Amino acid sequence: MKDTLHLMAVYTKTTAKAWFQYRVDAVLRSLAVFLREATGIIVIWFTLLKFDTLKGWDIYEMLFLFSLLFLTYGIMIIFFTGLRDFGKTVRDGSFDRFILRPRGLLFQIIFVNSDWFAAIGHGGLGLVLFLLSAGKVGIQWDLFNALYYILTVAGGVLIQGAVFLFLAALNIYLLQTESLKEMLYWNMRKFAGYPISIFNKFIQIIMIYVMPFAFVNYFPAQFLLRKSDMAEYPELYLYLTPIIGIVMYLAAYCFWRFSIRFYKSSGN
């Protein structure tokens, strides 16, 4: 255990050192990610200035909804960069090197690289949105709600991590799953910025049961905000985020363990 923590520290130090080799670029890229994502928010801001509310959600409540999405992604990407880029790792044969080292494969993939640009860009935006909205949406920040918030963020991180892990495992068979990720993850994520109740049934079903972004931000936000549109969904859903996170992650992990046996390295 001590030894594992030590290795994690050395990996992190190495990543950070490599990062600081290009200081200016590091700052600019984080900023670029931040601005790219913020643009979308600014558009919504001005749209809502015209309409006031969206199915009862005002602008600050919407920002709170968004903040969960960005915060969880920012935290998730610190740990799952290696899985996000796993297709490349398999294609260029670097995965062989992981196999040749006496450490857990998933452990190495997770700690060998962290995309701090994305982490700071997304996480930073999430934090800014949280600070902008948290005081204005009428949430009592007592111990219970704070604890709920922390658990639910952890659940949201696991849900998205599970999707990345699942897609990474799929890479072993398909070599490339970028388009699938684009379709399943990034497209669905665009819907997740809004209260899902504004969409038609089909999209709602996907958001709840297929690519469960609803549990990353909609239901947790509902727990804290209690908007009227929650009446359309079972009360139970407010509490499921951490459980769904754990279950999805375990399922993805089992699929990963199963798939890794089929790995055939690229010839050279």
Partner 1 sequence: MSYIEVKNISKTFRVSKRRSGIPGMLANLVVPKYEKREAVKNISFSIGQGEMVGFIGPNGAGKSTTIKMLSGILFPDSGEITCSGVIPYKQRKNYVGRIGVVFGQKSQLQWDLPVIDSFELLKAIYRIPDDVYKKNLGRFTEMLDMSGFINQPVRQLSLGQRMRSDIAAALLHSPETVFFDEPTIGVDVVGKEAIRSFIRELNAQDNMTMIFTTHDMQDIEKTCNRVIIIDKGSKVYDGALSDIREHYGSSRSLDVEFMTDTETAPIAGVETENIDARHKRFIFGKDVHINDLMSLLLQNYSVRDINISEPDIESIIRKIYSGEGAA
Can you give the length of the chain in residues?
268
Please select the residue that binds partner 1; options are 36, 91, 103, 257, rule is CB under 8 A. Answer: 103
24 near partner 1 (CB under 8 A): no
Of 86 and 194, CB closest to partner 1: 86
Pick one of 36, 101, 136, 226: the residue that binds partner 1 (CB under 8 A): 101
Q: Is 229 in the site for partner 1 (CB under 8 A)?
A: no
Per CB under 8 A, does 18 bind partner 1? Answer: yes
The answer to the question of residue 93 lying near partner 1 (CB under 8 A) is yes
The answer to the question of residue 50 lying near partner 1 (CB under 8 A) is no
* Segment near partner 1 (CB under 8 A); pick from 70-78, 102-110, 126-134, 149-157: 102-110
Q: Is 179 in the site for partner 1 (CB under 8 A)?
A: no
Q: How far is the CB of 99 from partner 1 (least distance, A)?
A: 5
Cβ–Cβ under 8 Å, residues 58 and 48? yes
Footprint on this chain of partner 1 (rule: CB under 8 A): 3, 6-7, 10-11, 14, 17-18, 21-22, 93-94, 96-97, 99-104, 261, 264-265, 267-268
